[in-house]
Amino acid sequence: MITVRPTVASQHSPDQLWLEGHHAYKTGQLQQASQRWQQAAQLYSQQQQSTETALSLSYLALSYQELGQWQQAEKTIQRSLQLIEENETPAPVIAQVLNTYGSIQLALGQPEAALNTWQEATAVYQQIDDQVGALGSRLNQAQAMQTLGFYRRAKTLLDDLIESVEQQSDRQLKATALRSLGSVLQVTGSLEQSQQLLERSLAITQSLEQPNETVKTLLALANTLRAQQKSEEALQIYEQIMPLADQEADRMTAQLNLLSLLVELDQWPSARTIMADLSQQLPNLEPSRAAIYKRVNFVESALKFNRDKSSAISAVSMHHLADLLAEGAHQAQTLNDSRAESLALGELGQLYITTQQWDNARQVTQTAIKLAKSSHAKDIGYRWQWQLGKIYHQQHKEQRAISTYSEAIDTLSTVRADLLATNSELQFSIREKVEPLYRELVSLLLKPGNDDQASIKQARNLIEDLQLVELENYFRSACIEGQEEQIDQIDPQAAVVYPIILPDRLEVILALPNQTLSHYETPVPQAELEKTLDKFFIAFNPALPDRRRLDFSKQLYDWLIRPEEPELAQNGIKTLVFVLDGKLRNIPMAALHDGEKYLIENYGVALTPGLDLMGPHFDKSKPLEALILGVSESRQGFSPLPGVKEEVSKISSKLDQSRIYLDQDFTKKAFEDQVQTNRYPILHLATHGQFSSNLANTFLLAWDQTISLRDFDTLLKNRRLQTQNPIELMVLSACQTAEGDDRATLGLAGMAIKSGARSTLATLWSVNDESTVELINAFYNALGTSSEPATKAEALRQAQVALIKNKNYAHPFYWASFVLIGNWLA
């Protein structure tokens, strides 16, 4: 922040008022800050000091933005911009005003405009050789790029910043810059790189003996380690901070983060000790937004602590927690901070829910919603709408509950991109703060015996939307677009099956061509279902008894398929398209067993993350022409794949035309060049690869290096955007989901979507080389040898059935791993 040096010591001088505003802002007293800066701007204007007026107005706009007063913020920053345009203004002030303007634009949902404004600010900072200012505005640019989904540009910019920081001779500036970069990389999901930069920043601040800077870096490092699930390392650093921190705010932040992590790890005795200490400190904090947030943070941890029956103790009374929040709400009122007041009252509503004081919970939650709306705080407003829906449900007001839940989802949809791409006081956690919202509303809509089409359709759309949310969260950007098509318009012989995992039951929605939607339930609790799925997955090991696997297979068949058998037969269904939920994504549906046959022996099977994510449908099949790339030898620690050469030889003989890049010819550069220049409709990749719930750990192996999913996205972008020459089929014949990762199939779906391929054939686990050659060969044979080529789903079905009939490969381990994602037709 640029500091205007006061020239007059008078209490009522504009310089003094400006400094008072600066102090109030830094201590979280936003209303007081805005009052001081408004007074300073008026006095500067009366004295015809245009530069100081413009600067004061830009800070005033910033305080309005923090308070959620968007109209005043935009109006004030426009006045500041007008002043610097009409008067000769020093470059540092111009840059500062532009920086503020970009911040307001981004908050108003104008990331492209914000990016342009921050680029202007950067240019000004560079002209005056203000390295700190330039760094800040370029970090802001990376944030805007991330929000827009420009991953590659954001990464390139951050890499450039890292390179320029490396050349920085001022060690103190270098340490600060490394910490800033590390914090941004943590937000964008580059956790390992974030850790590396923060550790280097820490080494510099420690060598310079700067305890305050060291503490700030340690806090950032602990947060990154926690995000990496390196819990023990994070705990040690939080504990290390407390005796080092001179500033109470830093020490208490470390304590609160430590408490939250201890509760998460069920370390109750240590959590209880810290909780007791914090409960004594919090009431003594001076009123500020930061102090109110600390109260809320503490109560969130305390409620989680008290809800766990295994703790068998209550560290802090509910009455004390209520007093903390009530006083926090009162302080927020005094500070005229509607956002902070909403946060305190919303959490108070949660406390009342815990104590089953439903009327009190409803009243304070409704007030919290109004305050969130008035301050444009949609990122917390959706939480209180969701909370109110829960309250209505408990009070048996089902229609009000459904309506309020729906409002919460509508609110969330407007801020999803910001929550995914940028940091906020309330960290975006899909499992805790989004996914249950969708499932609870679906549970309300699909009540037993409810055949209302509007309700079932809304539930179906919610599940499709949740699939999109999970993928957006995976990519950390709301950048996936699709085109919804009705099932009967795609394939009149296909049914779409939506299994939905709810806490108390398994629901299945069935969509048949030209039919109304139907649903049925199985009263199996989520914990029991997921336990069965885990055991079933393990049972695919061919060394284990067949009977054990078949028992699980039949059980799942009874839950998912048996109730709909008559409708499938009556409607002449040949293909089942599954939109799988949760851990069901790890299970090959083809291997479900009805007691006599596997599902794949009766139906073609395909997967999709949602019909609206499939992309456009094409009626005409393309010639069998393929770009084939493979690695057969051991590379970069991966085992050899000797079957790749035979696989490539056999499939190329069945194709009309092919171009092959094997082993040392399959470099990342060759892949990029060939994808851009060749228009073959099939892309066949016979190489090691891994799908992971961590974007950074999803990759394909080329001869010279790995190709990350973001690299993959960039390399295939041009083909994906083409309507004339899309990739019709992508085959990934030697990839696998990451072991022990129950959301690894997000990486598989992500690769399928980001390739732009109409259809993707991939494997859930690494399979036998010889059986892979047989299956892939049979698949291509079915696609192209007959006068009427089979659909992709039918080709895969025929290939899998061929292996079932081969006594050497009849076990599902050899054939069930192959799944078809996306368009299942020709």
The region, left, alpha or beta by phi > 0 then psi within -120 to 50, assigned to residue 94 is: alpha
- Tell me the mean pLDDT in the region 498-510: 96
Reply yes or no on whether the pLDDT at 56 is more than 70: yes
Higher per-residue confidence, 21 vs 711: 21
pLDDT at 616: 46
DSSP string, 536-556: HHHTTSTTS-HHHHHHHHHHH
- Give yes or no for residue 775 having a pLDDT over 50: yes
Mean pLDDT is lowest, of 10-14, 39-43, 666-670, 705-709, for 10-14
DSSP string, 719-731: HHH-SSS---EEE
Percentage of the residues of the chain whose pLDDT score is greater than 70: 90
Whether residue 263 is predicted with pLDDT greater than 60 in this model: the reply is yes
| CA pair distance 262, 256, nearest whole angstrom | 10
Among 467, 721, 448, residue whose Cα is nearest residue 610: 467
The Cα–Cα gap between 420 and 543 comes to 43
Residue 151: the pLDDT is 61
User: What pLDDT sits at residue 701?
Assistant: 92
Question: How sure is the predictor about 306, in pLDDT bands with cuts at 50, 70 and 90?
Answer: confident
Using the structure block, give the residue that is written with the tokens 């997921």: 530
List, for residues 712-732, the tens digit of each pLDDT value: 877 777 666 665 677 889 999
Q: Average pLDDT in the 233-250 region?
A: 89
Q: List, in order, residues 6 or more apart from 150 with CB less than 8 Å away.
A: none
Condensed to tens digits (0 to 9), the pLDDT of residues 332-377 reads: 998 888 999 999 999 999 999 999 999 999 999 999 999 999 888 8
User: Which pLDDT score, from 0 to 100, does residue 618 have?
Assistant: 47
pLDDT band at 762 (very low <50, low <70, confident <90, very high): very high
Query: Average pLDDT, stretch 273-292?
Result: 91
> Higher model confidence: residue 789 or residue 567?
567
Place 666 in a pLDDT band, splitting at 50, 70 and 90: very high
Q: At what angle do helices 268-281 and 248-264 cross, to 10 degrees?
A: 150
For residue 146, the one-letter residue type is Q
R_g of the chain, CA atoms, integer Å: 29
How far are the Cα atoms of 26, 105, 188, 292, 479 from residue 63, in angstroms, in the given order? Answer: 11, 14, 26, 17, 31
Considering all CA atoms of the chain, what is the largest pairwise distance in Å, rounded to the nearest integer?
A: 95
Confidence of residue 53 (pLDDT cuts 50, 70, 90): very high
Band (pLDDT 50/70/90 cuts) for residue 783 is confident
- pLDDT, greater one: 62 or 554: 554
- Which pLDDT score, from 0 to 100, does residue 424 have? 34
Q: Are 764 and 590 in contact (CB under 8 A)?
A: no
Highest average pLDDT, of 7-11, 273-277, 745-749, 789-793, comes from 273-277
Q: Within 13 Å and on the Cβ side, how many CA atoms surround 471?
A: 26
Residue where the block lists tokens 């295994």:
310
Instruction: For 588-626, write each residue's pLDDT tens digit.
Output: 999 999 999 999 999 999 998 876 655 544 455 567 889
Mean pLDDT across the stretch 266-270? Answer: 89
Token duo for residue 133:
């200012």
Confidence of residue 502 (pLDDT cuts 50, 70, 90): very high
Judged against a pLDDT cut of 80, whether residue 749 lies above it is answered with: yes
Rounded Cα distance between 406 and 399, Å, is 11
Q: Average the pLDDT over each of 29-38, 523-532, 717-726, 772-781 and give the range with the smallest value.
A: 717-726
Closest to 495 (Cα-Cα) out of 619, 621, 606 = 606
d(CA 683, CA 751): 13
Do residues 713 and 725 lie in contact, with contact meaning Cβ atoms separated by under 8 Å?
Answer: no
pLDDT digits (tens, 9 = 90+) for 380-431: 999 999 999 999 999 999 999 999 999 999 999 887 766 665 543 333 466 7
Q: In what order do the strands lie in the sheet with 657-662?
A: 518-522, 505-511, 494-502, 575-578, 604-607, 818-822, 759-763, 729-732, 682-686, 625-630, 657-662
pLDDT at 432 over 80: no
- Nearest by Cα to 823 from 621, 614, 682, 625: 614
- Is 659 within 8 Å of 678 (Cβ atoms)? yes
Type of residue found at 652? S
The torsion region of residue 672 among left (phi > 0), alpha (psi -120 to 50) and beta comes to: alpha
Asked if the model's pLDDT at residue 311 lies above 80, the reply is no
The pLDDT of 774-794, averaged and rounded, is 83
Residue 5: what pLDDT? 40
Model confidence band, residue 152 (pLDDT cutoffs 50, 70, 90): low
Looking up tokens 């008072």, which residue turns up? 20
Predicted TM-score (pTM) of the model is 0.84
E-assigned strands of 547-698?
575-578, 604-607, 625-630, 657-662, 682-686, 689-691
- Spell out the domain ranges in the chain: 487-612, 618-822
Once rounded to an integer, what is the mean pLDDT over residues 675-680? 83
Structure tokens, 566:
């008559």
Secondary structure element (H or E) that encloses residue 73, with its range = helix 70-86
Three-class SS of residue 575?
Answer: strand
What is the model's pLDDT at position 428?
42
Residues 749, 769: Cα–Cα separation, whole Å: 24
Q: Give the separation between CA 500 and CA 490, rounded to whole angstroms.
A: 23
Backbone φ and ψ for 641, nearest 5 degrees, come out as -125, 75
CATH architecture of 487-612: 2-Layer Sandwich (3.30)
Average pLDDT taken over every residue of the chain: 87
Angle of the 398-421 helix axis to the 435-445 helix axis, nearest 10: 160
Quick: pLDDT tens for 84-142: 999 989 999 999 999 999 988 887 768 788 899 999 999 999 999 888 888 888 888 88
CATH 3.40.50.1460 fits 618-822, yes or no: yes
pLDDT tens-place string over residues 159-186 = 888 888 888 788 888 888 888 888 888 8
